[in-house]
Amino acid sequence: DIQMTQSPSSLSASVGDRVTITCRATQNIRSYMNWYQQKPGKAPKLLISGASSLQTGVPSRFSGSGSGTDFTLTISSLQPEDFATYYCQHTYSTTWTFGQGTKVEVK
């Protein structure tokens, strides 16, 4: 199975900061990468599909990049509502996996 490794597992940041989360796959997954945001007690929310396609209604401060094995989720200017846990997830091959998550906390 393809494994996804996210880094960091957690980070502390302030409102207005630029935040970058990375995800590495154990093999080439082309652009079959999605990113989700999850807040406590809630279902995850899809932010980005196909590595870089922003979902309708998601603020433009979120962006995704990468292909192959290395991917990045960037929040250009962190807002109070962005403190949450973020997950990467691939849709390459027939069995799928999530990364272990990155918790973005208040500094």
Partner 1 sequence: QVTLRESGPALVKPTQTLTLTCTFSGFSLNASGMCVNWIRQPPGKALEWLARIDWDDAKHYSTSLKTRLTVSKDTSKNEVVLTMTSVDPVDTATYYCARIYYSPISGWSGFDSWGQGTLVTVSS
Q: From CA 4, how far away is CA 28, in angstroms rounded?
A: 11
Q: From CA 72, how far away is CA 57, in angstroms rounded?
A: 20
Asked if 87 interacts with partner 1 (CB under 8 A), we say: yes
Backbone angles phi, psi at 69, to 5 degrees: -120, -15
CB of 31 to partner 1, least distance (A): 8
CB of 100 to partner 1, least distance (A): 5
The 57-86 site mask, x for binding partner 1 (CB under 8 A), equals ------------------------------
First to last CA, the chain: 36
- Applying CB under 8 A, the span of 10-18, 44-52, 65-73, 74-82 interacting with partner 1 comes to 44-52
Backbone angles phi, psi at 13, to 5 degrees: -145, 165
Beta bridge partners of 54: 48
- Applying CB under 8 A, the span of 13-21, 38-46, 65-73, 74-82 interacting with partner 1 comes to 38-46
Choose, by CB under 8 A, the member of 21, 25, 29, 48 that binds partner 1. Answer: 48
